[in-house]
Structure 1
Amino acid sequence: MKTLELDSLAPIYGGMCLSRLDGVVFIKGAIPGEKVLAEVKEIRRDYSIAEAVEILNGSTDRVTPRCRVYGMCGGCHYQHISYERQLSLKEEIVADCLRRIAKIDIPIAGTIFGGQWNYRRKVQFKLSSVSGGAAPTIGFYRENTRDIVAVDECALLHGTLNRFLAKLKGARFLNGVREIHMLTGGNTVAFLKGPDVDEAKLEFLLDIGFDGAVAALAPDYQRTHAAGDSHCQLSIGDNGGQGISYTVSPQGFFQSNWELNQVLVETVKELLGDVSGKRVIDVYGGAGNFSLGLSKTAKEITIVEDNPYSAADGARNIAQNNIHNISYITKSFETIRENKTYDVVIVDPPRIGLTKAAVERLLSLKAETIAYISCNPSTFARDAARLQPGYTPSSVRLIDMFPNTYHCEVLGIFRST
């Protein structure tokens, strides 16, 4: 055990805080400015990792976590911090990454946020392996392990998903299922994985009142069983009930905080300005989250997406909305060799950010504007540095897509120089 006082301005991306009082120590469960009694859990060559076990001088931003398994389940990191302070911490983290990594000093303005609780419309429940006819444990992985923490209710999940979690608990019939992936929107879709997945288990889900479709995938990832519509039904925008129809399959990708995603889509449109008559390329474009709305004014849009499920979702969305100026390239962005230039680029890469080859390809497009949506401020800052001197950011803002976690969604608008 050691007493540690945290540096007042040292939140660290990853849910920890930094103390330099006795070497470099990353501390879980504390807030910048606090004095804590911490237990060192791991000693590495250049730093240590510790966990706060007693708060000696607490922050006024400290609150009581809502979840009874907070600190055991690996899903949340910030429930002990007031939501207002969560937002300011994340803004500080984004700004710090840009200063340290990209040498860019720009204000983080216009943070976008919504409800703190019950926002997730997508979940992966983990189920234990049991014998003797007992019901499997249903919950989430303990942080950095494959041990399952039983969960009765998750404060981040949409109410529909929590209601089905309550129905699934204690179900011996689910033996042989290892994961249940669920999406909810206008309907609810379940996707089962495990060594014993069959039609009988789908019937069980229907019998307990499953509202919508169910789909199951066999261990070979090929054989699929379905009842009803196996795509989750959503919409982008409203426009007096005339929103864009949007569907997604369980194997595809969509933003689980759908309400805030709607705000993000509109914000990207506003910041890009008038795209009338312009060519747009949407890299890692998924099922058309950003492109579908822009298609009403853009001259043409190319979506680059090598996930076959997301590309299939996108093709379905294009057809359902009777759109004729969007086309797909279903291979990796780095391998594209066409010589087209584009006016606008939208890029929404995975957490690892852009490869060097992707940055080179991006620069070769010679676009006027790049809208970069990132789920990792460190790789966002690294890529912002790589885009210089060809592009400079005109605005950077935080989108708090995942309240009560350390995850930071970042939107940067880059203009050619």
Structure 2
Amino acid sequence: MELKKNQEILLTIEDFTREGEGLGKYQGFPLFVKDTVIGDKAKVSVTKLKKNYGYARLVEILEPSPDRVTPPCPVARQCGGCKIQQLSYEKQKEFKWNQVANCLKRIGGFDGIEAKMEPIYGMEHPWRYRNKAQYPIGLDKDGSIIAGFYAGRTHTIVPNTDCLIQAEVNKDILEIILRYLRKNHIRPYDEKSHTGLVRHVLTRVGFVTGEIMVCLVLNGKKEQLKNSAALVEQLRQIPGMTSIMVNTNKEKTNRILGASCETLWGRDYIEDYIGDVRYQIGPLSFFQVNPVQTKVLYSKALEYAGLKGEEIVWDLYCGIGTISLFLAQKAKQVYGVEIVKEAIDDARRNAALNQMDNVTFYVGKAEEIVPAEYQRTGIRPDVIVVDPPRKGCDETLLHTMTTMAPSRIVYVSCDPGTLARDCRILCEEGYEIERVAVVDQFGHSCHVESVCLLSNSKCTDLKSESTDA
């Protein structure tokens, strides 16, 4: 029987994709169905057909999987954020561990990798874990001002001021801002007409310090916020409020933040800790959004680095120095490299804040900075740590790293596919995967972080010979 669009069929979900979609087969033809989990028997409606596969939407669960749970969030299905909230947390962890293992096997070619993988490090409490939120502001179909999150693959806002993976205080912040906007007749931004003022509300919350930042992203300047003093006065009443700012973004773009920030009240940053290291965090700073699990992730990277106090370490894609400063607690000298100048400015401030004088930061491409410094100083690193963006490492950089011949490479990854690809290249150059740790930093989403330790005994011997000479 040939499938047709809008046709309703019965389907048993047999597998799960990396994007969190269920996969079932109708007479051998694969269909991807959002909001389903392995073991579900469901009625679905076909939405799109390709030559070799198709998509369908969930109409009704006829027989739920034993791993299915009822999402506590009332808009989990509509919202584009928590794609697998309907899957029990134990199974979420299993799914993510398998995702890393499967990528290392299929893409990296590492057979038997499971034996080198530690059990996944999950969250004790997988709710209210995010310290940063970005809420789009818009109008509902009745013309009322709303805040929330975009529905999956759209720019349609699903109203929600109390997201269950965000800090509870965000609800109070958003309700104050929405009342202020309505009372002062301030229009939200309309991306189709490029009119209206308020685009997003950004919040940051220090989980250790309790400090709070609120930043309104404007299609204009702060002077256009009528009666802003009244808004500031109300927000100041929230315990922990430290920084109230505006960010100007007048571009026709999907990028949330513009380059310019101004302070309405308080400081232009908040402070928080990861472990014993203190950081200043501004509106534009990159800072891990789950501080509890970030400590787990960085502690594992530090453990894999195997530092005894005499090592030279390079931290590539160092951002604002989060991992660099963690490493500097136990290394002789750490060198951090990042292409974004503003991030390096933050990194240097954070090093000074922690009174760490054994860290040096460079602005530029790692594949250019690292070999130039090696040629200038002749100093061979003991350890190289990389924490690249989702696209992974530049291949030139991978070859530069193997030329530098550290005895250990610690690869921190937010994408198991590019991790596997890059590890394959490193292992072709003589390295070997020793250990892999998987850390769940983003409960109820499909994203997963991992740390991989690669070593090369020949490089250890080379370092020893160089030291003896």
Q: How does 1:120-135 map to 2 (within 5 A)?
A: 120-128=130-138
Q: TM-score, normalised by structure 1?
A: 0.92
SS in 1 for 2:29: coil
| Residues 1:32 and 2:38 aligned together | yes
Give the Cα–Cα distance (whole angstroms) in 2 for the partners of residues 379 and 39 of structure 1.
34
1: CA distance between counterparts of 2:41 and 2:259? 54
**d(CA) in 2 for partners of 1:363, 1:376:** 21
Q: CA RMSD in A?
A: 2.2
2:247 maps to 1:217: yes
**Structure 2: how far apart are the matches of 1:160 and 1:396?**
36
How far did residue 324 of structure 1 move? 1.0
The alpha carbon displacement at 1:339 in A equals: 4.9
Show the 5 A alignment for 1:241-390.
243-336=276-369, 337-340=371-374, 341-389=380-428, 390=430
Cα pair 1:129 1:178 within 8 Å, conserved: no
- Residues 1:356 and 1:20: Cα distance change in structure 2 (over 3 Å): farther
Q: How many Å separate the matches in 1 of 2:308 and 2:159?
A: 49
- Say whether the 8 Å CA contact 1:252–1:307 is kept in structure 2: no
Matched residue, 1:52: 58
SS at match of 1:373: strand
Q: 1:369 to 1:35 in 2, by over 3 A?
A: same
- For 1:141, the equivalent position in structure 2 comes to 150
Letter in 1 for 2:148: G
Deviation digits for residues 344-372 of structure 1 (CA, Å, limit 9, x no counterpart): 11111111112322322332221111111
Q: Secondary structure at the match of 1:140?
A: strand
Letter in 2 for 1:26: F
Bigger shift: 405-414 or 210-219?
Answer: 210-219
CA distance in 2, matches of 1:363, 1:26: 41
User: Whole-Å Cα distance in 1 between the matches of residues 61 and 215 of structure 2?
Assistant: 42
Q: CA deviation at 1:129?
A: 6.0
In structure 2, distance between residues paired with 1:267 and 1:327:
23
**1:289 aligned partner, one-letter code:** T
| Counterparts of 1:129 and 1:204, CA distance in 2 | 23
Distance in 1 between the 2:198 and 2:415 partners?
32
Write out per-residue CA displacement over residues 266-309 of structure 1, whole angstroms, 9 at most, x where no aligned residue: 22222222242111111111112122132133121111112223
Unaligned residue ranges in structure 2 (runs of 5+): 1-7, 188-196, 251-257, 375-379, 458-469
Q: Which runs of 5+ in 1 are unaligned?
A: 238-242
The 8 Å contact of residues 275 and 294 in structure 1, kept in 2 or not, is answered as no
Q: What's the secondary structure of 2:343's corresponding residue?
A: helix
TM-score by length of 2: 0.82
What is the correspondence of 1:11-26 to structure 2 with a 5 Å cutoff? 11-21=16-26, 22-26=28-32
CA distance in 1, matches of 2:320, 2:231: 27
C-alpha displacement of 1:50: 2.2
Deviation at residue 130 of structure 1 after TM alignment: 8.9
Q: When you count helix as a share of all residues, which structure comes out higher?
A: 2
**Closer/same/farther in 2, CA of residues 77 and 391 from structure 1, 3 Å limit:** same
Q: Which residue of the partner structure matches residue 217 of structure 2?
A: 193
Change (3 A) 1:335 1:113: same
Matched with 1:162 is: 171
State the distance in 2 between where 1:212 and 1:135 align.
30
Pair member with larger Rg: 2
CA distance change for structure 1 residues 47 and 275 in 2, over 3 Å: closer, same or farther? farther
Q: Provide the rounded CA distance (Å) in 2 between the counterparts of 1:27 and 1:346.
A: 38
Partner of 2:232: 206
Q: Distance in 1 between matches of 2:433 and 2:11?
A: 38
Note if contact 1:126-1:138 (Cα within 8 Å) is conserved in structure 2: yes
% same residue: 29
In structure 2, the CA distance between the partners of 1:302 and 1:205, relative to structure 1 (3 Å rule), is farther
Shift of 1:57: 2.5
Residue 78 of structure 1: how far off its partner (Å)? 1.1
State the match for 1:240 in structure 2.
none
Take 2:283 and 2:242, find their aligned partners in 1: how far apart are those partners?
13
**Contact 1:249/1:310, CA 8 A, preserved across alignment:** no
Amino acid paired to 1:198: K
Equivalent residue for 2:73, pick from 54, 59, 67: 67
| CA distance in 2: counterparts of 1:412 and 1:191, whole angstroms | 36
Query: Is 1:24–1:46's contact at 8 Å kept on the other side of the alignment?
Result: yes
Distance 1:209 1:64, change over 3 A: same
| 1:160-209 CA-partner distances (Å, limit 9, x unpaired) | 22331233334324531101221111311223222234154653442223
CA gap 1:312/1:130 in 2 versus in 1, 3 angstroms: farther
**What amino acid is the match of 1:214?**
I
The CA distance in 1 between the partners of 2:132 and 2:198, in whole Å, is 18
Amino acid at match of 2:372: E
SS in 2 for 1:91: helix
Maintained 8 Å contact 1:205/1:214: no
Of 219-228 and 318-327, more deviation after overlay is shown by: 219-228
Secondary structure of the residue that 2:235 maps to in structure 1?
coil
CA distance in 1, matches of 2:166, 2:68: 23
Partner of residue 398, structure 1: 438
Which deviations, in whole Å up to 9, do the C-alpha atoms of 1:236-282 show, x marking residues without a partner? 22xxxxx3221121112111111111122222222222242111111
